[in-house]
Amino acid sequence: MSGPAGPAGPEEVHGAQAAQGAVPAADEANASLPARAGEERLAEPVVRTGMFGVATTGDTSGYGRLRVHRPPPLESSRPYGSYFDTVADALGAALQAAGVGYSDAIERVVADRGELTFHVRRQLLPEVAAQFRDDPALRFELCTGVSGVHYLEDTDRELHAVYHLLSITHNRRVRLEVSTPDTDRHIPSLVGVYPTCNWHERETWDFFGIIFDGHPALTRIQMPDDWKGHPQRKDYPLGGIPVEYRGAKIPAPDERRHYA
Amino acid sequence: MSAPQTPTAPAGADDDAAEGRVYTVSGEDWDEVVAAANEARDFEGGERLVINMGPQHPSTHGVLRLILTLEGETVVEVRASIGYLHTGIEKNMEFRTWTQGVTFCTRMDYLMPFFNEAAYCIAVERLLGIEDRIPERAQIIRVMLMEFNRVSSHLQGIGPMGMELGATTIFLQGLRMRERILDLYEMITGLRMNHAYIRPGGLAQDLPPGALEAIRTFMDGAPKLVHDLRTLIDANPVFIGRTKGVAYLDLASCMALGVTGPMLRATGLPWDLRKSQPYCGYETYDFDVPVTDTCDAYGRYILRMEEIEQSLKIVQQCVDRLAARGPSGPDDPVMIRDAKIGWPAQLSLGPDGLGPSPEHIAHIMGQSMEALIHHFKLITEGFRVPAGQVYAAVESARGELGAHVVSDGTTRPYRVHFRDPSFTNLQSIASLCEGGQVADVIPAIASIDPVMGGVDR
């Protein structure tokens, strides 16, 4: 399985043995007696942050070390599997016929969890999307929306617009992902290719501040027209107030303890 | 009210935008709107009137606001203004664990909570790579509830549609049947809506004792209820007069506007994700995908009635399968058997509310230290989901409901976006209404069947 579970790391066993083997000096042993430690803790000025003062991951059980770190593949190489190679070949042929270089338009391809993602360079997005829609071997008639994602730490590629395409003719799905730096948040609009993107792009502008160049009327759609900021960006706080429940104060959701 | 838009908006958002003059309407400014519209009128002879319909209007299915421009009785322009029910569900989900997210997303489109839950849970399961390990019993119950939900949602679409056209009997008949289904929801999940019953990995709990009998009793009477409703509406001359040939949208327009679901199938294209990209074991059920080819509001109504009949057929198969399996037990769980993911599923009702069952408490407190640790960590932290992104779609009552879920490897979603069918389908309102009579706007909205909770999220 690819869930978070995995075999307990050998470090854990190793660490336990090491602790048993070490003979601490008498003073040190005295210092770490529970009673002493408890008194010291009580004497300390307590500053509470969030819930129960936990500032780190809050994991005291070692359970967190069972975590399997597996970053998503940044780039897949051929064969991608499934119908993905057919789609990539057809796209290459279509782009060539249109006079656009495949590697000029497609930054990289990711095949992950049975889904195919083309990372498209933003200036060529409308050309690529038009090929996806029109080429008989591709024929992705339907765009099922735009979804913005704000990767705060992905410098110079912070804002992503993700387009999900569906081919009814071939019963296939692909995803186009476009990234743009936060300092220059422009992506060409796809309304000309897929008119359904109209509201979706307005929503993405509203929530992430991505400006879709060429959109017929890029105005806010969910938030009020005079709203400041773009609420679903990661640097925009969730907000909220602490709530008292049975005598205890529960902090606002974004200040609660959470586990990385 | 004035023409200029948000300062950062690009070219196109000013007076000479491609779509025509753009107005920013902020409420209580109708005199200015009308004056500006009269100034800008580009037709000869007539008087153009701008009418604000909604957001508080019984025929707009919630807080939808339409800005109609009329020349006499003819609608020349429709603009939809949405966002009155925006609650930031997607943002809120980023601050809760993966399991808690269900409680939020079930509240989006409040008439089809099970579809919301299913789309999200399938996405999380795909991220975890456990799609093929979900217990079969959980999948059968999911399918059964989704099909019940299709019926109750369609009834809530058809009933009010009748009322808006002046027939309260249709409304009452539709809601009478829907009420019985809500009773079943209440029996199974404890709630009439916002169930949070489908969870990543399976279900919150199994069907309660007596549920199958209650469903059977309902199923015995259901065909007659549907038949009564169809007898009342199908050939009703007033209903036909108000809906036939009204709100026309053909296949090409559906494709361009991204319209899916009953509106798409009413153009004659049998596109149904349950058949084309099956999930939750739909490929093992016997059912048809109804189509009509009239592209109008009447065709969509007929299609929804036929879908109700097909859904009841699927529910019957689910009931038969569940009856053949007998009661749930350790060999037939409703939650994935993975101690690191499977949230304690078999809850029981105690004096202080719903909680873990005595058997589960005895197990974690008396028998297994590991089980106690797993319970504690799952409840306090939740499980971690490997980083990546997926898009999972289900065929909801209104069309393709997609969940785009991004994980960064932690116990909370990094980003969840829902492609709600109401949101996308509502874009077609201008195509449906412009050039028609103002009275036809009402059946046009009703035939889209938008739910603003889903549109605004």
Do the chains contact at B402 and A164, CB–CB below 8 Å?
yes
SS3 content of chain B, % helix, strand, coil (to 5): 50, 15, 40
CA distance B101 to B108: 12
CA distance A49 to A6: 32
Choose between A47 and B394: higher pLDDT.
Answer: B394
**Strand pairing class (A186-188; A211-213):** parallel
E strands, B82-200, in order: 198-199
Determine the pLDDT at residue A43.
59
Q: Is B62 inside any structural domain?
A: no
**Whole-number percent of chain A with pLDDT over 90:** 30
Do the chains contact at B22 and A3, CB–CB below 8 Å?
no
Domain count, chain B: 1
User: If you count them, how many residues does chain A have?
Assistant: 260
Residues of B in contact with A195 (CB under 8 A): 256-258
Nearest to B67 by CA among B85, B40, B48: B48
- Closest residue to B404, CB basis, from A147, A215, A256: A147
* ∠ Cα B426 B432 B434 (to 5°): 115
**Strand pairing class (B65-71; B74-81):** antiparallel
Residues of A in contact with B1 (CB under 8 A): none
Provide CB contacts within 8 A for A43, sequence distance 6+: none
What does each C-alpha distance from A243 to A248, B107, B417 come to in angstroms?
8, 21, 27
Do the chains contact at A218 and B19, CB–CB below 8 Å?
no
Nearest to B12 by CA among A192, A183, A60, A213: A213
E strands, B286-330, in order: none
Give, for all 457 residues of chain B, the pLDDT tens digit. 444 444 444 443 444 455 566 677 777 777 777 777 666 655 545 678 888 887 877 777 778 889 998 888 888 889 998 988 899 999 999 998 999 999 999 999 999 999 999 999 999 999 988 888 899 999 999 999 999 999 999 999 998 888 888 888 888 988 989 999 999 999 998 888 898 899 999 998 888 888 999 999 999 999 999 998 999 888 889 889 989 988 899 899 999 999 999 999 999 999 999 999 999 999 999 999 999 999 999 999 999 999 999 999 999 999 999 999 887 777 888 888 888 888 876 777 777 777 778 888 888 888 888 888 888 888 888 888 888 899 999 999 999 999 999 998 888 899 999 999 999 999 999 999 888 888 899 999 999 989 998 999 8
Do the chains contact at B419 and A3, CB–CB below 8 Å?
no
Residues of A in contact with B9 (CB under 8 A): 211, 217-219
Chain centroid to CA B352: how far? 33
What does each C-alpha distance from B423 to A204, A217, B316 come to in angstroms?
13, 17, 32
- What is the radius of gyration, based on Cα positions, of chain A? 26
**Owning domain of residue A169:** 84-198
* ∠ Cα B234 B235 B237 (to 5°): 125
What does each C-alpha distance from A247 to A172, A243, B80, B288 come to in angstroms?
54, 10, 46, 56
In DSSP terms, A115 is beta-bridged to A112
Do the chains contact at A162 and B389, CB–CB below 8 Å?
yes
CA distance A206 to A209: 6
Determine the pLDDT at residue B287.
93
Q: Phi/psi of residue B43, each to 5°?
A: -115, 170
CA distance B176 to B397: 19
Determine the pLDDT at residue B303.
93
* Report field, pTM of the whole predicted structure over 0.80: yes
Residues of B in contact with A164 (CB under 8 A): 391, 402, 404, 419
CA distance B80 to B171: 25
Q: Are B63 and B55 in contact (CB under 8 A)?
A: yes
Element of type H or E holding B51:
strand B48-53
Q: Is B257 inside any structural domain?
A: yes
Q: Are B453 and B89 in contact (CB under 8 A)?
A: no
Element of type H or E holding B375:
helix B369-380
Do the chains contact at A4 and B414, CB–CB below 8 Å?
no
Q: Residue type for B293, please?
A: D
Q: Evaluate the omega torsion of the peptide bond into residue A79 and state whether it is cis, within 30 degrees of 0.
A: yes
Q: Is B154 inside any structural domain?
A: yes
Which strands sit side by side in the sheet containing B415-419, from one edge to the other? Answer: B388-396, B399-407, B415-419
Q: Is B363 inside any structural domain?
A: no
- What is the radius of gyration, based on Cα positions, of chain B? 24
Determine the pLDDT at residue A246.
81
Q: Is B418 inside any structural domain?
A: yes
Q: Is A194 inside any structural domain?
A: yes
In DSSP terms, B350 is beta-bridged to B353
Determine the pLDDT at residue A11.
41
Q: What is the pLDDT of residues A209-251, one digit of tens each?
A: 999 999 998 999 999 888 888 999 988 888 888 888 888 888 8
Which structure tokens are listed for B297?
Answer: 């509001």
Q: Which residues of B308-322 are buried (b: 16+ CB within 10 A; e: fewer)?
A: bbbbbebbbbbbebb
What does each C-alpha distance from A249 to A48, A166, A258 come to in angstroms?
12, 47, 16
CB atoms within 10 A of CB B424: 29
Determine the pLDDT at residue A15.
39
Determine the pLDDT at residue B356.
79
State the CATH number of the domain containing residue B199. Answer: 1.10.645.10
Determine the pLDDT at residue B316.
93
Element of type H or E holding B145:
helix B136-164
Do the chains contact at A216 and B391, CB–CB below 8 Å?
no
Which structure tokens are listed for A214?
Answer: 């060429």
Nearest to B336 by CA among B104, B154, B142, B46: B142
Do the chains contact at B373 and A194, CB–CB below 8 Å?
no
pLDDT for residue A4 is more than 70:
no
Give the burial class of B211: count Cβ atoms within 10 A of its Cβ; 0-12 exposed, 13-18 middle, 19 or more buried: middle
Could you write out the DSSP letters of every residue in A50-115?
TTTT--S----SSGGGG----PPPS---S---TTHHHHHHHHHHHHHHTT--HHHHEEEEEEETTE
Residues of B in contact with A208 (CB under 8 A): none
Could you write out the DSSP letters of every residue in B175-238?
HHHHHHHHHHHHHHHS-SS----EETTEESSPPPTTHHHHHHHHHHHHHHHHHHHHHHHTT-HH
**Strand pairing class (A172-180; A115-120):** parallel
Determine the pLDDT at residue A32.
52
CB atoms within 10 A of CB B417: 26
Q: Is B281 inside any structural domain?
A: yes
DSSP code for B271: -
DSSP code for B335: B
Q: ipTM for the complex?
A: 0.82
Q: What is the pLDDT of residues A115-170, one digit of tens each?
A: 999 999 999 999 999 999 999 988 999 999 899 999 888 888 889 999 999 999 99
**Owning domain of residue B245:** 89-342+383-456
Determine the pLDDT at residue A14.
42
- 3-state DSSP assignment of residue B26: coil
Domain count, chain A: 1
Size of the A and B interface in Cβ pairs below 8 Å:
199
CA distance A110 to A122: 17
Q: Residue type for A56, please?
A: T
Q: Which residue has the tokens 């590991």?
A: B370
CB atoms within 10 A of CB B127: 27
Chain B nearest C-alpha distance from A55 (Å): 15
Nearest to B139 by CA among B271, B283, B312: B283
* ∠ Cα B220 B223 B229 (to 5°): 140
Q: Are B143 and B283 in contact (CB under 8 A)?
A: no
CA distance B124 to B413: 9
Determine the pLDDT at residue B4.
43
pLDDT for residue A47 is more than 60:
no
Q: Residue type for A137, please?
A: A
Establish how many alpha carbons lie within 13 A of residue B265's alpha carbon, considering only the half-sphere containing its beta carbon.
23
CA distance B402 to B396: 9
Determine the pLDDT at residue B404.
94
Chain B nearest C-alpha distance from A42 (Å): 26
Residues of A in contact with B410 (CB under 8 A): 258-260
Q: Are A240 and B94 in contact (CB under 8 A)?
A: no
Q: Is B246 inside any structural domain?
A: yes
Do the chains contact at A211 and B8, CB–CB below 8 Å?
yes
Element of type H or E holding B80:
strand B74-81
Q: Are B134 and B201 in contact (CB under 8 A)?
A: yes
State the CATH number of the domain containing residue A104. Answer: 3.30.460.80
